[in-house]
Chains A and B, each alone.
Chain A
Amino acid sequence: MSFVGFLGETLFGAGVSILKLSLIIIPLMIVMQVLKDYQWLDRLTNVLQPLGNKMGIRKDGLFPLLVGILFGISYGSGVIIQSVESGEMNEKDRLLVAVFLVLCHAVVEDTLVFAAVGANGFILLATRILAAFIITVIFSRQYVRTRRKSYEDRAA
C-alpha cells in the first residue's frame, strides 16, 4: 500500500471510530443534562438506599456516590469534592464512597463505549458493579473492626 493510501485509510478508520463514539456520547450527555436540571438525581438517590445500607454508606454519601457512578470521577469531581468539603460525609462514608467509585464509575459511558468497539457490555457492567460492591463491603467491615479495636484499646 502506498503511503498516501495508508494515510487515507488511517484517517478513515479514526474518523469512523470517532463518529461511532459521538453517536453514544452526545445522546448520553443530553440525558445527563436533563437528569441534572430536573433534579431527578435526588430522586434516584433513593434507589441507591438499599445498596448503601448493605455497604454501610449513610444517606449523605449516596448523592456523591450516584453522581460518580453515572458521571464519573472527573466529570463528577465538583459534586464529590464539594460533598467532602461541606463536611456532610464522615470518615467512613468518604472511604467507602471513594473505594466504590474508583472501581466503578461512569458506568453508562464506559460500558457503551467499549460495547461499541465489540466488548460484551453486560459482562462489563455486571462485573464492575458486583466487584465494587463486594470490595466496599469488605472495607466497611474492616473499618468497623479496626474502629472497635482501637476503642477497646483505649478503654483498656
Chain B
Amino acid sequence: MINSIKSGFWTGVRTTGMLARVIVPVYFIVAILSRYGGLEQIAHFFEPVMHIFGLPGEAALVLVLGNVVNLYAALGAIVAISLTSGQLTVLALMLGFSHSLFVESAVVKKTGVPIRVILPLRLGMMILVGMIAGQLTGGMA
C-alpha cells in the first residue's frame, strides 16, 4: 500500500508540475493583456458570440485555449479574468464536452471511430449545452 501511495504522490507532483507549466504562462499573458487593454479589445470583438452563452467576451479566450491546448490552459485564463459562479459553471460545462481536441482526437482515432463523427459531436454538444445553460443562468441572474 505504501508503495502505491508513494507512486501516486509522485504522479500527482509530476502532474502538478506539468499543469503549472501551462497555467503560469497563460495566466501571465492574460494578466498582461488585461493590464494593457488587449483583453478589452478581444472581449469587445467576441461579445456578440459569447452573448449566446450568457458569457462575457473574454470567455472566448478561455474556450479557444481549452479546445486548442487543454483544460489547464483554460483554467489559467479563467483564474486571470473575473467571472460569476454561474458563468464559471456554463464555461466548465462547455469545456467538459469539448477540450484538448488535438491530443484527444489522436487517441480516439486509434479506436477506429472517425474524427468526422467525434469532432462535430463534441463541438455541437459544447454549443448546445452552452446555449441552454447560458439561458438558464442568464434567466436566474
Q: Write the residues of chain A forming the contact surface with B, with a CB cutoff of 8 angstroms.
A: 6, 10, 13-14, 17-18, 21-22, 25-34, 36-38, 73-74, 77, 80-81, 84, 91, 94-95, 97-99, 101-104, 110, 113-114, 117-120, 123-124, 127-128, 131, 135
Contacts and interface: CB of A to CB of B under 8 A. Distances in A.
A156 B12 CA distance: 59
21 contacts: A10-B27, A10-B28, A13-B27, A14-B28, A21-B23, A29-B8, A30-B8, A31-B8, A33-B5, A34-B5, A73-B104, A80-B107, A94-B111, A95-B113, A98-B113, A103-B122, A114-B95, A117-B79, A123-B93, A128-B96, A131-B129
B111 A81 contact: yes
Interface of B: 1, 3-5, 7-9, 11-13, 15-16, 19-20, 23-24, 27-28, 31, 35, 71-72, 75-76, 78-80, 83, 85, 88-89, 91-93, 95-97, 100, 103-104, 107-108, 110-113, 117-118, 121-122, 125, 129, 133
Given A18-B19, A131-B129, A28 B113 contact: no
Contact of B97 (A118, A123, A131): A131
Contacts of A81: 107, 110-111
Given A14-B28, A26-B9, A28-B12, 14 more contacts: A18-B19, A30-B4, A31-B8, A33-B4, A33-B11, A34-B5, A77-B110, A84-B112, A110-B96, A117-B75, A119-B85, A124-B93, A127-B96, A131-B97
Contacts of B96: 104, 110, 114, 124, 127-128
Main secondary structure of the interface of B (DSSP, over half): helix
Contacts of A36: 4
B79 A102 contact: no
A98 B5 contact: no
Contacts of B133: 127
A19 B95 CA distance: 22
Given A34-B5, A119-B85, A29 B24 contact: no
